[in-house]
Each structure stands twice: as C-alpha cells, then as structure tokens.
A and B are shown apart, each in its own frame.
Chain A
Amino acid sequence: MKGRYDDENLKWIPILIIAVYLSPFLLKSATFSYKYYLYILNMAGIYMILTVGLDLLSGFTGLMSLGHAAFLAIGAYTSAILVDQAGLPFELSLIITPVIVGLCGLMIGFPALRIEGMYLGLTTMGFGFIVKRLIIAFRDWTGGSAGLQVSKATLFGFTISNDWNNYFMIYTFAIIAIIVARRIVKSKLGRVFMAIRDSEQAAQASGINIAKYKMLSFFISGMFAGFAGVLFAHTNHFISTDHFDILLSVYFIVMVLVGGVGSIYGAVLGTLFIVLMENMFIPLFKDTLTQYMHLEAGDFQAFIFGLIMLLFIIFQPMGLYGMWLKMRIYWKLFPFNPRKRFT
C-alpha cells in the first residue's frame, strides 16, 4: 500500500519476529519476576489481535466502534461454554467462535449502514451494555456476575498450562493475525475499505456495494475480536463482566489512535505501548499522585490515557508508527534539512 505510510521498509520484520520468540528467554535470564512480565505481555498479545481487527474496521473502513470489548466478551464466553459445557475441543472453538462473533459483528453492522461517526460509536457502545446485561441474565451458562472458571487451552494434545506456554501460543496467533490483516489491507478488499472511508459517494459511484463491504468489515473485525476472546478465556482461566468493561472499548480505540490509525503495525505498537503504560509505568506514580490529586486509581489511569490520546491527536496524528517512519527518513536525509519533508 502506498499512501499515508509510504515510507515503510519491512526488512526488519523477520528480525522482529525472532525477537518476539527470544524475549521470554531474555526476560527469564534478566529478572526473577519474569512471570509477571510475561503475563502482561500475554495480555498485550491478545489485545493486539483485537486492535488489529479494530483498525481494519475503524482505521481502514472508517467505521467507529465502541463495542469491541463486547465482541471480546462474546468470544470469551462462547468459547468457555462450547469447550467446558458442550465438550468441544479447543482447536474447534478457535475456528467456530470467531465465526459466531463475526456474525454478531454483522448484526451490529446493520445499523451501521444508516448511522455514522459518533452516533455509530454510541450505538456500538449501547451494544456493549446489552451484552453485559445478557451475560448476567444467562447465569446458568455464564455464571452471571460471579464470573466463570475456564479450562486451560489444549492444542493437539498439549495442555498450555502456564504463562510461559501461553506466551508462545498467543504470540504465534498474534503474528498470524497481523500477517492476515496486512494481507487484507494490501488486497483489493483493503482498497475497497479505504475507498469507502475516503468517500462513500464516490465509492458507490464506482459501483462498489458499500452496504455489503461495510458488513464484511464488521464481520472480519468481529472475527479478530472473537479469536482474541477465545485466547483470553483459556489463558486467563477466569472471566467475568469486569474484564470487558465499556471503558476497555475506549482503551482499544486509544491503542489504535496512539499507534497510528490505518496502518496495522500502528495498532500493534499502540497496544503494546498502552498495556505497558497501564501495568508498568502508571503504577510507579499512582501512589504519590493519588495522594496529591485525590484521584481514584482507575480515574487516574483514564486521565492519563485521555491526555495521551489528546496529545497524539494534536501533535502526532500518524501515531507511534508514523513517528518511527519519520525518524527513519530523518536519519537517512540527515544533513539535508529533512524537516521540510515533514510539514
């Protein structure tokens, strides 16, 4: 894809993938509490799968969603019920659950044909509330507000039992998800999504059935979220409605925005950044700052994320990924007043 991020150089991708697989070993040799870090990285990996799908929907097709935490929840609960109560193998759930969540995406896609922008955001958010209510209502299956224990994942006879093993499973799937998303973006389908985002009228006038493709975008995005939901349920071993708060949907949008909308890799970077911020950086300051500012821990986090998002929208609309691309050109052109190219 040429265009907004046209200075991409993808030679470093294989190196990055190797780094992903090496980092647990590095962490283990570096610190005793590596298990805690792995747990956080696992969370980031699961969220990445979801945000990459969210980027396809919001970044590439231009359809706002504040319902992705609900898609994640549907994925997690569906898989828990399919595997633990209906006795389906985990591998099968990995295929069926995303399809089911994708179909839920289609359901939400219907109103999206008529509404736009912020209103679509609110509608999808309303969907989040409904899903939460439904989870509590169907307590025979979901455990209601008490939550639900979920079995461990088993892949081809191996039980994925701890965070170490979870890491390799999650990141293998995350890498696959990213590759698939990049493929979609670079295909004709990806260009159609972008065409709809840039001008619905012109897309229609070119003979593109925008209703069909908007629905398809919701379906695909739902599938990514559903896939993330399966991994979430079977690596966390316990799910409850608290894990899928409405605020999480907002954080997903922040992750995509901070990383750089419409670039896939941006969503990956943004997710890593926000999850690390939330779990490693913010806790360092929480105690002192809550003392002086009389903020609850959760409020403080929301405040920081809001601030980060605002700063990015104003100063760096292309996100972390765009920043990295700019830095690369900067060094390449170094002595020759590279600043000019950025304005």
Chain B
Amino acid sequence: MLKMIGVETFYGKIKALHGVSLEVLEGQLVCILGANGAGKSTILKTITGLVEPEYGTIHFNGQRIDRMDAEDIIKLGIGHVPEWRRIFAELTVKENLQMGGFLLKEKDLIHERMVEAFHHFPILEKRKDQQAGKMSGGEQQMLAISRALMLKPKLLLLDEPSLGLSPLLVQDIFATIKELHKAGTTILLVEQNVNHALKIADYGYVLTTGKIFLSGTYEELLDEEKVREQYLGEGKYNRRAKVWSG
C-alpha cells in the first residue's frame, strides 16, 4: 500500500532522514520506534508532504506521491495525526471536526462523519461546543484522531498518540487504535512506548538517527536485546529498560 525507497529529507542543511526504506501492506499495523530526534515524525511529515524529500521515492497504492502537495496526498486517502495532539485550540470540538472534513464538499457528509465520531467517542459529543484547548490531554488526543478520521483515510499515520498521557489513558488510546485497525484501517504508528506498540503491531521498524536500524515482527524485535539497548540507550539505562519492560 505504502512504499518508501531511499528517502532522504533535509531541514535546511540538516539531514534528518538518511535513506529510509519501508513498506506498509494493506490492512497492516506497522510501527516505527526510535529515540528522540531519530526522525520518526519526519518520516510521517514526508509521507503527507508537509516536508519534501530531497531523494528517494514514495508510492501510495501504486501512485508516486513524493512530489505532490499535501492537499492532494491527503485527498488520496492518507490521514495524519500530528505529534503533540495538535488540535485547533481555540475552535470548538465541533469546529475541529468540521476542519477535519475541510476537503469534503457536502455538508451532509460532514455531519454524517461527525455523528460517527461522536458514536466512537461519546465524550466528544458531550464537549462538542467546548473550546478544544480546554479539554484534557486524553480528550484532545481522541479529538485529533477523530479529526483525521473525518476523511475516512485508507492509511492513518499516528504520531506518538500516547505522548504525555497517564498510563490508564495510554491503554485507552491503544485499545482505540487496535479497534480502528480491526475495523479495516491500515495504520502506520510512531511510538516511544515500545511494549505497548509492538504488542499491537504486525511489523516494526527501529530508527536511529535517520536510518532504519532493525525491522521485524513483535517476536523478532523483542528477542533482539539490541532493540532495547539501542532504543533506550546503552549501559546505564539498560537497567531502567528492564524495569520498563516489567
């Protein structure tokens, strides 16, 4: 469904991606792991055209998208939930969802999708006239996801949905992601929460400073002691890694 080959992305002169290749098959839930600054968000931003790659190709359903505008890429059916649940803080929940449906021409359709979102997350319906920025972190994340779902994307890119949420909410969010996946959405998930993420993922990539370092299924990756070392840092952090993984 999605295929990146040798993608290199720059921020000015800084090279953020050093030839990244990865693939997401239809119906899969693929996870990208990596430390801070590894370039995870950059991969997602490159896919949706928020930044343009210098080298390499990206194909989506057989169509080359790496030179297209964000608007057109999104129209093809890629949804992107940016990092830090970037909701429109001063718009209401309803208006946020309307913005998510910005590309939809018919008002009825927007309304229909909104009702679906409310069905999925009843809390959003209760808060529908509230300013989005005044909601809790978990509610904001649900809103950010619902907003991306307004266009019914075939592929959903999720950037660290568990960031800054309490453990209980993290479980909620992952349950939601799992549900979405079951319902047939292909998902590319970026996470730092290794265990949670790998448990629900079909396949994982580990990224270090702009390069794919390892890839494999949950079992393969968990076996690799290297993952933890590389991902959580070597030596003195190893002990903490053990604590985290229980």
Is A bound to B? yes
In the bound complex, do residue B131 and residue A202 qualify as a contact, i.e. CB atoms below 8 Å apart? no
Task: Give the residues in chain A near B102, CB-CB below 8 Å.
Answer: 192, 206-208
B87 surroundings in chain A (CB, below 8 A): 198-199, 202
Contact A207 B71 (CB under 8 A): yes
Q: Is the CB of A202 within 8 A of B90?
A: no
The 10 tightest CB contacts between A and B, nearest first, are A199-B86, A202-B86, A205-B80, A198-B88, A207-B103, A207-B74, A195-B88, A2-B92, A201-B82, A195-B99
Measured between alpha carbons, how far is A208 from B103 in the docked complex, in Å? 8
B residues in contact (CB < 8 Å) with A: 45, 48, 50, 69-71, 74-75, 79-82, 86-92, 95, 98-100, 102-103, 129, 131, 133, 144, 147-148, 151
A157 within 8 A of B: no
Q: Do B88 and A2 touch across chains, with their CB atoms under 8 A apart?
A: no
Closest residue of chain A to B81, judged by CB? A205
Across-interface contacts of A2 in B (CB, < 8 A) = 92, 95, 129, 131
Convert A167-193 into 0s and 1s, putting 1 for each residue whose CB lies closer than 8 angstroms to a CB of B: 000000000000000000000100110
A residues in contact (CB < 8 Å) with B = 2-4, 6, 188, 191-192, 194-195, 197-199, 201-209, 262
| Bound CA span A332–B98, Å | 32
Q: Is the CB of A205 within 8 A of B74?
A: yes
Q: Which residues of B contact A192 (CB under 8 A)?
A: 99, 102
Taking CB as reference atom, which chain A residue is nearest B131?
Answer: A3
Closest B residue, CB atoms, query A211: B69
Given A4-B131, A201-B50, A201-B82, A206 and B74 touching (CB < 8 A)? yes
Max chain A C-beta neighbours (<10 A), residue from B71, B86, B88: B88
Given the complex, which residues of B lie within 8 Å of A191, measured CB to CB? 91, 95, 98-99
- Other A-B pairs beyond A191-B98, A202-B86, A207-B70, 17, CB < 8 Å: A3-B91, A4-B90, A191-B99, A194-B88, A197-B90, A199-B89, A201-B45, A202-B147, A203-B88, A205-B50, A206-B99, A206-B100, A206-B103, A206-B148, A207-B151, A209-B70, A209-B71
Rounded to whole Å, the gap between the CB of A264 and the closest CB of chain B is 14
CB-defined contacts of B148 to chain A, threshold 8 Å: 205-206
* Chain B contact residues: helix, strand, loop or mixed: mixed
Which of B89, B99, B144 makes the CB contact (< 8 A) with A203? B99
Expressed in whole angstroms, the Cα–Cα distance for A204 and B48 within the complex equals: 9
What is the distance, in angstroms, from A170's C-beta to the closest C-beta of chain B?
Answer: 32
Query: Once the chains are docked, how many angstroms separate the CA of A282 from the CA of B151?
Result: 56
Chain A residue nearest to B101 (CB atoms) is A206
Q: When chains A and B are docked, how far (Å) is the Cα of A188 from the Cα of B101?
A: 12
Contacts of B98 in A (CB 8 A): 188, 191
**Contact present for B92 and A204 (CB under 8 Å):** no
Bound CA span A207–B148, Å: 10
Q: Which residues of A contact B71 (CB under 8 A)?
A: 207-209
Whether A206 contacts B86 in the complex (CB less than 8 A), given A191-B91, A201-B50, comes out as: no
By a CB distance below 8 angstroms, the chain A residues around B88 are 194-195, 198-199, 202-203
Q: Which residues of the partner chain A approach B82 to less than 8 Å between Cβ atoms?
A: 199, 201-202, 205
Among residues of A, the one whose C-beta sits closest to the C-beta of B78 is A205
22 of the cross-chain contacts (CB-CB < 8 Å) are A2-B92, A6-B131, A191-B91, A191-B95, A191-B99, A192-B102, A195-B91, A199-B82, A201-B45, A202-B144, A205-B50, A205-B70, A205-B74, A205-B80, A205-B82, A206-B102, A207-B74, A207-B103, A208-B99, A208-B102, A209-B70, A209-B71
Q: Compute how far the CA of A262 lies from the CA of B91 in the bound complex, rounded to whole angstroms.
A: 12
Q: In the assembled complex, which residues on chain A have CB atoms less than 8 Å from the CB atom of B90?
A: 3-4, 194, 197-198, 262
CB of A263, distance to nearest CB on chain B (Å): 11
Q: How far is the CB of B53 from chain A (nearest CB, A)?
A: 16
User: In chain B, what residue has the closest Cβ to A5?
Assistant: B90
Residues A204 and B50 in contact in the complex (CB < 8 Å), given A6-B131, A198-B89, A199-B82 = yes
CB distance from B121 to the nearest CB of A (A): 18
